[in-house]
Amino acid sequence: MVTMVTAGDHIDPVTQEIVEGKLAATVDEMGIVMAKTSMSPVIYEVLDFACGLLTSEGELVAQMNGITLFTGTFGTQVKALIRRFAGDIADGDVLLTNDPYAGGTHACDFAVVKPIFADGAIVAYAINVAHYLDVGGSVPGSLAPNATSVFQEGLRLAGVKIVRGDVLSSELTHIIRENVRLPDIAIGDLTAQIATVRVAARRMLELSGKYGAATVKAAFATLIAASERQSRAAIAALPDGTYFATDIIDGDGVTKYPIEVQVAVTIEGDSITADFTGCPGAVAGPINCSRGALQSACRTVIKALVGPQAPSNEGWFRPLEVIAPTGTIFTAEKPSPTGWYYEGSVHASELVWKALAPLMPSRFSAGSYSSLCVAYVSGMDSRGQPFIHIEPQHGGWGASEERDGANALIALTDGDTYNYSIEIIEARFPLLVRRYGFNTEGGSGAGKRRGGFGVIREYEILSDDASAYCSLGRTETAPWGMAGGSAGTVNLLQVVSSEGAESRDYGREAHIPLRRGDVLRVITGGGGGWGDPREREAHLIEQDIDNGFLTEATASEAYGHRRRIAG
């Protein structure tokens, strides 16, 4: 769909710049209010939420710097709501949806949308999508790694009016309270979300009050059109052709079988097509993603290609077409489970990335640890109160042509996502962290530029009633190397019994019973290397040995290095 900018929409460059500045300030303000007032660690620490502004047609005009998972979902979600409430949207309404199949992601992500009215007509929509700690379903936290149906993944409110005439719906909040495990937290987060879209409405009204709604809308159209031009120019500079990539997803949570996936990326003039035809049908387990999440996955990598630092809006993505038959692992339909959708969608991103990397080494790196390596630990604390601790882990990224890969960064699917403070975890949960450091034992991909290192994080369980579940990808298939660099290393979750006698390894696991004194160890992999390891400079190898990243033995094995005897 292309919106034409007509001659009548011409807007002076000064007003344009001022409107754009205000858009950026508004989405940032929404983000600050959300992070500071939320009750869920997944939101305030992990920042698993995003805020944005859209045109009255549901085209993205501004988005806060949050995580990449929501790069493409806002537009499809808002358009689905516009269709659902066609002609029945009034000033003072706030809409809510968590439907994975209507542009969304998984049931845990609640999207709150406020239509913003100026002079009796909608001038923009504000949206806030946030991951709720628990939305009911078969397990605490709502993400059973072995779910086989969306009906095991909690409450779905697929397009409702949570606020009508500025009044919060007591019926709906009652339904939410009765269907989730931590109702106070859910209602606290809903309150915070509604506060952010109201803030956005105030700011947009300041803008339309000053410049008029027509000017503001024209500025939106100009911004989107300008970004589209920049995006097309970047794509046109790349050689035409079709580029292929394949990869393997390590199990779906129900079975451990390898799942082969593929893409064909075609560049033709100033357009780009990602064709996922040939990928398998939706799998039994919840690592499927829906079409909205697939869009996001592809858009993330297109943004990395055409304009990584520029503020995001719909225009950047207009040159992109995503082709995939309905009902595949990347285009799942109801009732396929999608709880762990990002474990699937990250592979769609990486396929496009892997296909494009050789074309533009200045923007890409070799494969990374990919999976967020999320584990849930829940149970009862010493006061007899229930707790749920959810934590993604940081890991090693791939090397690039010029530089070693980054150590311990959050996976592609997230973004401005913090690790969890150990001191805060220990003050809050019956857990003791015994180690948090680089996974030097596991290593990383060797190369002229080597991959970055993952982490090892160890928890001792201080509760008599606790269990865990997890879904880690890349436990078998290591991150790819580039241009002769070696593959990286794999992710793993281990549980060592309190006696220390027994150690078990896990990847995607629905239930891990834990006893007091057991140690749960999350190990994340190192990224892939870039270039021939034999070309690595001796002083860099020695620096790695001094810093304990390499042992003399691994240096000799991977790089053929022999340390000079000091003399």
Please, which of residues 525-554 interact with other proteins by CB under 8 A? 546-549
Structure tokens at 549: 């990243």
Residue 319: name the closest of 237, 375, 244, 262 by CA.
237
Site string for other proteins, 453-472 (x = CB under 8 A): --x--x--------------
Nearer to other proteins, 219 or 329 (CB): 219
- 195-224 binders of other proteins (CB under 8 A): 195, 198-199
Q: Does 394 bind other proteins (CB under 8 A)?
A: yes
Structure tokens at 17: 């710049």
Q: Does 105 bind other proteins (CB under 8 A)?
A: no
Q: Does 185 bind other proteins (CB under 8 A)?
A: yes
Q: Does 17 bind other proteins (CB under 8 A)?
A: yes
Distances (CA, A) of 305 to 318, 352, 365, 483: 14, 10, 12, 19
Report the amino acid identity of residue 102.
A
Residues in CB range of 485: below 8 A, 6 or more apart: 366, 399, 445, 446, 447, 448, 449, 450, 451, 528, 529, 530, 531, 532, 533
- Chain mean position to CA 439: 23
Nearer to other proteins, 106 or 299 (CB): 299
Q: Does 16 bind other proteins (CB under 8 A)?
A: yes
From CA 213, how far away is CA 211, in angstroms rounded? 7
Which window, 184-192, 257-265, 335-343, 372-380, contacts other proteins (CB under 8 A)?
A: 184-192
Q: Does 432 bind other proteins (CB under 8 A)?
A: yes
Q: What is the CA radius of gyration of the chain?
A: 24
From CA 504, how far away is CA 384, in angstroms rounded? 28
Nearer to other proteins, 242 or 421 (CB): 421
Which window, 84-92, 94-102, 303-311, 468-476, contacts other proteins (CB under 8 A)?
A: 303-311
Nearer to other proteins, 17 or 464 (CB): 17
Contact predicate 397/409, CB 8 Å: yes
Which window, 43-51, 289-297, 473-481, 497-505, contacts other proteins (CB under 8 A)?
A: 43-51
One of 135, 351, 412, 514 touching other proteins (CB under 8 A): 412
Helix (H, G, I), strand (E, B) or coil at 305: helix
Give me the sign of the Cα torsion angle 174, 176, 177, 179: positive
Torsion of CA 149, 153, 158, 164, to 10 degrees: 160
Q: Does 29 bind other proteins (CB under 8 A)?
A: yes
One of 36, 383, 539, 564 touching other proteins (CB under 8 A): 36
Q: Does 446 bind other proteins (CB under 8 A)?
A: no
From CA 520, how far away is CA 286, in angstroms rounded? 23
- 68-87 binders of other proteins (CB under 8 A): 68
Residues in CB range of 379: below 8 A, 6 or more apart: 386, 387, 430, 463, 465, 466, 467, 514
- 110-169 binders of other proteins (CB under 8 A): none
Which window, 78-86, 94-102, 404-412, 488-496, contacts other proteins (CB under 8 A)?
A: 404-412
One of 294, 322, 406, 466 touching other proteins (CB under 8 A): 406
